[in-house]
Amino acid sequence: MNQFLIKQRAVIKLYLITFIEKKKMYGTQFLEEIQSQCNQYGFSPSQPEIYKALHDLYKDGIVTRKNQLKGDEGFQEVVIYQFTNDGYEKAKLYKQQIKADLDRSQDLLRKIIKDNYR
């Protein structure tokens, strides 16, 4: 079984977990946050990718969903994500696994460069 570099989906889930650790936010904000931080590296995922990743985390039992009115403006409703009871533990484990894959990806990139550039 082949595993090239880490997948975008995994990285998005990683960012989402980190955001949820820090403060409650909703889909559109997650998207804008990632895009503005990573744009300069060419990384700018599409909007549905964020929701797919959020649904993954929900299906994995890591987060709960809660509809909530957006504070300041009119009647706009947003979906807020928080960790489930054991979600934070699961999330920490998941982050560890992703870290291993990130490290492996770095090692692979280094090897590719070493093999092909003097």
Q: How many CB atoms lie within 10 A of CB 95?
A: 15
Q: Binding to a second copy (CB under 8 A): which residues in 24-83?
A: 37-38, 41-46
CA dihedral 20, 48, 12, 98 (to 10 degrees): 110
User: Does position 96 bind DNA by CB under 7 A?
Assistant: no
Size of the site for DNA (CB under 7 A): 26
Nearest distance from residue 76's CB to a second copy, in Å? 27
Longest distance between any two alpha carbons in the chain, whole Å: 60
Q: Which range, of 33-41, 48-56, 99-107, 109-117, touches DNA by CB under 7 A?
A: 48-56
Task: Tell me the torsion sign for CA atoms 47, 48, 52, 58.
Answer: positive
The residue among 9, 15, 7, 13 whose CA lies nearest residue 37 is: 15
Of residues 3 through 32, those in contact with DNA by CB under 7 A are 4, 7-9, 26-29
Among 2, 40, 96, 116, binds DNA (CB under 7 A): 2
| Chain residues that interact with DNA, rule: CB under 7 A | 1-2, 4, 7-9, 26-29, 45-49, 51-52, 54-55, 65, 70, 75-79
